[in-house]
Amino acid sequence: MNEQAKDTDVPEKLELTGTEGGLWCVYTRDSNHIFDLDRGTVTRVPGADAPANINDGPRRLKELFTCRVGERGYWTMPGDYLIDFRFNLTSTIQRIQKITGDTTQPPS
């Protein structure tokens, strides 16, 4: 199957609420965010021009406040012994797409 056909076969959404289940990629200007809603985790995958940060590995998702195309994403993750929670505020979300097939490589 060619890449164009593969992209059109994968469902896209305008918003994630956290109740969907499955694997989803949230594309922002500089990074992608992989939501595994079955496991309750989120992983930031920085783009070429994005600096690394603490969210660049799987982190447990505490609460998903906003994850909607055209808006900035905002969610929280549990903290540690010093803080109650960590948060992530993204740049504007451009696309939300369900991930199918091989998930060992970050989506482009």
- Contact (Cβ atoms closer than 8 angstroms) between residue 71 and residue 39: no
Determine the pLDDT at residue 66: 96
Q: Please list, in sequence order, all residues whose beta carbon lies within 8 angstroms of the beta carbon of residue 32, skipping any fewer than 6 positions away.
A: 25, 26, 44, 45, 47, 106, 107
Residue type for 70, please? G
As a whole number of angstroms, the distance between CA 100 and CA 85 comes to 30
User: Does the pTM exceed 0.75?
Assistant: yes
Per-residue pLDDT tens digits of the chain, which is 108 residues long: 334 444 456 688 899 999 999 999 999 998 999 999 999 999 999 998 888 888 888 999 999 999 999 999 999 988 877 878 888 899 999 999 999 865 555 555
Between the alpha carbon of residue 66 and those of residues 7, 10, 18, the distances in Å are 24, 22, 10
As a whole number of angstroms, the distance between CA 94 and CA 91 comes to 9
Domain ranges (residues) in the chain = 3-98
Tokens 């305008």 found at: 14
- Contact (Cβ atoms closer than 8 angstroms) between residue 39 and residue 50: no
Residue type for 10, please? V
Determine the pLDDT at residue 105: 52
Six token digits for residue 80: 């540690």
